[in-house]
Chain A
Amino acid sequence: MMLPLANLLPRKIRTAISVLAVGVGVALFLVLVGLTGMLHEIADRTTNVDADIMVMPAAGPAILLGGGLPADKTEARLRAIPGVREAIPVLCWTLNLAGRDQNVFAVRPEDWHFFAKPDAIIEGRPLAGGYEMIIDTRLQRAGGYTLGRKIERLNHIFTIVGIAREGVAGRVFVPLDTLNECLQQDARRATFFYVKADGPAAVKPVCDAISAMKLSAFTLDEYYARLSNLLGDMHLVIGGVVTVAGFVCFLVILLTVYTMVIERTREIGILKGIGASRSQIFGLVLAEAGLIAASGIGVGFLMTWAGRTLILDLQPLWTIEIPPLRFAYAAALAAIGTFLGALHPALRAARQDPVESLRYE
């Protein structure tokens, strides 16, 4: 058995704690990064529409809710702009489904084709009107819903008439008029509009014209970026956690390796006595720390998988997306923390006076 591994195995508990500490740091980083995927998933869905521009009340929030726009009047104004081919009103509201609030997209049944390709409905049919509801497959799984199921919300009974493949703009769709009626709006209201321009060249002039109407207009790419910017604060939190995780990793390794070196003072003397050079002693200590780091990274990946599985089991509608490159970042973080933590004890071991070491009791 190679010496670094043989040196670690007899100290099982200490080695296990060190490996676990590295693993927790790795898993914490990866799960946090993965959770930011939730906002990306919302942004992906919201912009997955056959349109070019989103129109909202001036200075409207990035998160869509409420009926801030008079639907018919705004539609007429938008359609009057040269270059606008379609103006599609959407009223957003929240309904509690599968145990948590879902953002409901209320749309006109005739506009459904802007939101989904014909094969997007995998069960049932598109909206026709009345108290109907389409949900996506993810919400179906989370809530155990079936086609035809009746759900009472907003003092009315809705029937699930269609199941759409996940990835469509909303998890829940209802007819626009139905939701307006349920909310007892005096006139049809809309939270925002999707606008389809005559062609790519028309997008910018249309945006400018809408802005001149004291409305906010974003291309779908701009809206995606706007939503992603909300991650800015989240990145600060992740940065903080990464720093703490890296520091904990560093401290645990420092303490473990330092203790190992002190414990084995005499053995280091013997190694020098039988011909080991400073660099070999240095390498031996770093190799032991490296084994802890490698095991910790492996354990961290396993903990990430287990954590992700557990979270998604408890919260099926959450999204945890971890880009492969992040695994490499996490491994690098653990490796750097380990190297820095092991550096001082390794140098100490390499510089140890062999005679003093041999006399060490």
Chain B
Amino acid sequence: MKTIIETRGVTKVYRTDGVGTPALRGVDLSFRQGEFVSVMGPSGCGKSTLLYLLGLLDRPTEGTVLLAGTDTKGLGDSERTRLRRSHIGFVFQRFNLMAAISAEANVALALKVRRLPVGSAPRDMLAAVGLDAKRHRRPSALSVGEQQRVAIARALVTRPTVLLADEPTGNLDSEASDRVLELVARFHRELGQTIVLITHNEQVAARAGRLVRMRDGRIVAG
């Protein structure tokens, strides 16, 4: 299978008051199309930073990220946004829905920002995650697990080639967590997306086909 996303010598240093704090140190990684990868590591090891770089939300201090064969190093904001829209779906850990609008409108938003036709896709997607009956509810009227299922529906409604999930079960109880992970696994089987899932939970990580371990901004396994 061909590589869909790749990092080459990626280093990320955050600067605060002139002091540099390295979050990633020369990371080389590649993800093949249709692969389900878990990224594990202790807090502060650079997992989320890696995810933001893979999703083109941030730029590396050194090195480059290649997405769908495009070297993103020299790209401007609008080109990066265009690439992100075409290939990436994000699921964040928490507070990841727009509070003022319904679940269905949240899912539709992903289509609207990409200027894609909306139609019945949001409703179909919410039905697929078991929330058709609650599609008119605002996030505050949904449980945390249900909110995360809406977020998954929103990330997948645009049929991205890569789904990036930042500890999607981090705030969920075990039952809700299992349900969300089953959904992710099901969509992976049915839609064949590349999935990169950040977690610090061994059981969650075990669901993926490949496990990448990180420590102190480096890849230590996988």
Q: Which residues of A line the B interface, CB within 8 A? A: 1, 3, 6-7, 9-10, 266-267, 270-278, 280, 353-355, 358
CA distance A66 to B113 in the complex (A): 74
CA distance A278 to B95 in the complex (A): 21
CA distance A37 to B116 in the complex (A): 54
Q: Which residues of B line the A interface, CB within 8 A? A: 52, 55, 57-58, 77-78, 81, 84-85, 88-90, 92, 95-102, 105, 109-110, 113-114, 154-155, 158
A9–B113 CB distance below 8 A: no
CA distance A129 to B92 in the complex (A): 93
**Given A275-B85, A354-B58, A355-B57, A266 contacting B113 (CB threshold 8 A):** no
User: Which of chain A's residues have a CB closer than 8 A to the CB of B88?
Assistant: 275
A275–B105 CB distance below 8 A: no
User: Which of chain B's residues have a CB closer than 8 A to the CB of A10?
Assistant: 99-100
Q: Which residue of B lies closest to A358 (CB)?
A: B92
Interface of A is mostly: helix
CA distance A176 to B183 in the complex (A): 99
B98–A270 CB distance below 8 A: yes
Q: Which residue of A lies closest to B58 (CB)?
A: A355
User: Which of chain B's residues have a CB closer than 8 A to the CB of A353?
Assistant: 58
A6–B84 CB distance below 8 A: no
CA distance A39 to B89 in the complex (A): 66
Give the number of A-B contacts (CB < 8 Å).
67
**Given A270-B92, A274-B90, A277-B81, A3 contacting B100 (CB threshold 8 A):** yes
- The distance from the CB of A361 to the nearest CB of chain B, in whole angstroms, is 9
Q: A267-B98, A275-B113 are in contact. List 19 more A-B contacts (CB 8 A).
A: A3-B109, A7-B100, A267-B99, A270-B96, A270-B97, A270-B98, A271-B98, A272-B57, A273-B55, A274-B155, A275-B114, A275-B158, A276-B81, A276-B113, A353-B58, A354-B58, A355-B57, A358-B57, A358-B92
CA distance A354 to B53 in the complex (A): 11
B57–A354 CB distance below 8 A: yes
Q: Which residue of A lies closest to B59 (CB)?
A: A355
User: Which of chain A's residues have a CB closer than 8 A to the CB of B85?
Assistant: 275
Q: Which residue of A lies closest to B155 (CB)?
A: A274
CA distance A271 to B114 in the complex (A): 11
B113–A1 CB distance below 8 A: no
**Given A270-B98, A355-B52, A278 contacting B110 (CB threshold 8 A):** no
CA distance A131 to B121 in the complex (A): 87
CA distance A275 to B113 in the complex (A): 6
User: Which of chain B's residues have a CB closer than 8 A to the CB of A358?
Assistant: 52, 57, 92
B100–A273 CB distance below 8 A: no
- The distance from the CB of A68 to the nearest CB of chain B, in whole angstroms, is 71
- The distance from the CB of B141 to the nearest CB of chain A, in whole angstroms, is 13
A sample of 14 inter-chain contacts (CB < 8 A) reads A6-B98, A6-B101, A10-B100, A270-B98, A271-B113, A272-B81, A274-B89, A274-B154, A275-B113, A275-B158, A276-B113, A277-B113, A353-B58, A358-B92
User: Which of chain B's residues have a CB closer than 8 A to the CB of A274?
Assistant: 89-90, 109-110, 113, 154-155
- The distance from the CB of A357 to the nearest CB of chain B, in whole angstroms, is 9
B58–A273 CB distance below 8 A: no
- The distance from the CB of B108 to the nearest CB of chain A, in whole angstroms, is 10
**Given A3-B109, A273-B57, A355-B57, A266 contacting B95 (CB threshold 8 A):** yes
Q: Which residue of B lies closest to A353 (CB)?
A: B58
CA distance A7 to B89 in the complex (A): 24
